[in-house]
């Protein structure tokens, strides 16, 4: 289950990054680079922070193959995606849920406290997108009003609640992933957002 989710998260984040780069009209090399950093950026930072070196993708070429597949799928099928922005949002939401879970599991594997595990899950899920947005000259979603990292934190809390209640591991993984993806799609549909920092500015 864990390996499947890891592969799925890598694929969908690679597609998300590639579609963003295509939308920005980057060349093929640029599209591949953005796909690569989107898929592996958060996990790379996480691995460096917990001292897992060489970082995971350097020890397993499957990550490179999966990203290449995501890159090719994006190149081949992007012209058939009439609503490119919606497609990017969907793939980004799937990656957000899956990579949060992966970061949580890595923290547990290294014997870290639940709080640190939640931080690692959030970092794993969001910082690939942060790097993608910066390279594509966008304000990262993480720093906008859109509900994004908050969902990763909520998903992490749900993970440890279900764990304390002794639910089966596969059920916990599925529940947390669906929770994050589902609430992000709902928040997008109903235009939910966090308050802007301007509420603290005196008029």
Domains in the chain: boundaries: 2-193
Torsion angle of the four alpha carbons 125, 74, 60, 134, in this order, in degrees rounded to the nearest 10: -40
Residues 91 and 85: their CA atoms lie apart, in Å, by 10
Q: What are the tens digits of pLDDT across the range 49-107?
A: 999 989 989 999 999 999 999 999 999 887 775 556 666 778 778 888 889 999 999 99
pTM for this model (two decimals): 0.85
Q: What are the tens digits of pLDDT across the range 102-137?
A: 999 999 999 999 999 999 999 999 999 899 999 999
Judged by DSSP in three states, 128 sits in helix
Q: How far is CA 151 from CA 20, 22, 94, 95, 121, in A?
A: 22, 27, 12, 12, 11
The better pLDDT of the pair 6, 45 is held by 45
Judged by DSSP in three states, 146 sits in strand
Q: Specify the pLDDT at position 147.
A: 81
* Joined tokens for residue 155: 């998903």
Q: Select from 19, 18, 171 the least CA-distant residue to 101.
A: 171
Length of the chain: 203
**pLDDT bucket at 143, cuts 50 / 70 / 90:** confident
């Amino acid at each position: 289950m864990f390996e499947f989710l890891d592969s799925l998260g890598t694929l969908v984040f690679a597609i998300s990054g590639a579609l963003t780069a295509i939308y920005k009209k980057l060349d093929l090399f640029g599209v591949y680079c953005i796909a690569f950093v989107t898929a592996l950026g958060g996990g790379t930072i996480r691995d460096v922070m917990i001292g897992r070196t060489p970082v995971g993708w350097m020890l397993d070429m499957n990550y490179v193959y999966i990203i290449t597949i995501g890159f090719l799928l994006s190149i081949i099928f992007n012209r058939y995606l009439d609503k490119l922005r919606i497609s990017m949002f969907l793939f980004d939401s799937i990656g957000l849920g899956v990579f949060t879970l992966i970061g949580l599991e890595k923290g547990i594997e290294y014997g870290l406290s639940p709080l640190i595990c939640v931080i690692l899950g959030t970092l794993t899920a969001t910082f690939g997108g942060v790097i993608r947005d910066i390279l594509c000259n966008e304000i990262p979603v993480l720093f906008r009003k859109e509900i994004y990292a908050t969902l990763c934190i909520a998903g992490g809390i749900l993970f440890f609640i279900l764990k304390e209640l002794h639910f089966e591991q596969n059920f916990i993984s599925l529940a947390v992933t669906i929770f994050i993806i589902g609430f992000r799609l709902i928040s997008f549909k109903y235009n939910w957002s966090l308050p802007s920092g301007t509420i603290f500015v005196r008029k």
